[in-house]
Amino acid sequence: MYKTVKSVLDILAAFIILLFLFPLLILITAILYCQNSGQPFFRQERPGYLERPFLVIKFKSMADKRDVAGNLLPDNERMTKFGIFLRKTSIDELPQLYNVLKGEMSIVGPRPLLFKYLPLYSENQRRRHDVKPGITGWAQVNGRNSISWTKKLEYDVYYVDHQSFAFDIKILWMTVLKVLRREGINQSPERPMQPFNGRN
């Protein structure tokens, strides 16, 4: 029952937030358009609900710098100062409200990860895809990038099993506090987040 109501609440909330933040989003888009040669957004295919593919959208926080062979440089060499600010404040996630409007994501749910991780999940970890992915989630308010992948996925499955309106409100409130305090963020140009390898 709540899953049906949640979809409606997600779309209403996304619309209201986008309307309220429209001037800020336009300003950031304009800055990134100038910084990134007309490409303000990062788009990537991710597995969503029931592992169905969709294009997640974020503000672009890294430049497309390449070496002499044409290969992209490491993340720590491509991260821009403005991009660091966007990540630390979680503003880079705001374009995902468009994914919410399209019904591909929820405001709250397990974060959409990479397709290459799917074969590495245990059967239990794979259950994280039994609900729509979210902009924020239980793992994000319990350590975000400062906890292990194993713990993150454990939190994701816990959310799947305990999803409720009250739980979502709790996560949203904790998200606001985490963002304001900038807690649980260790991803930086000097210390990028390590990829999931099935064990970490």
Number of domains in the chain: 1
Dist CA 17 CA 11 (whole Å): 10
Residue-level pLDDT at 25 = 96
Low-confidence ranges of the chain (pLDDT < 50): 186, 189-190
Joined together, the tokens standing for residue 88 give 């630390």
* Verdict on whether the full-model pTM lies above 0.85: yes
What's the distance, CA 66 to chain centroid?
25
Could you tell me if residue 188 is inside a domain? no
CA 86 remoteness from chain centre: 12
Does residue 190 fall inside a structural domain? no
Domain membership of residue 25 as a residue range: 2-181
> Residue 118 domain-assigned?
yes
Structural domain includes residue 142: yes
- Per DSSP, the chain holds a count of helices (H) and strands (E) of 6, 4
**Predicted pLDDT at 101:** 97
What was the pLDDT predicted at 144?
72
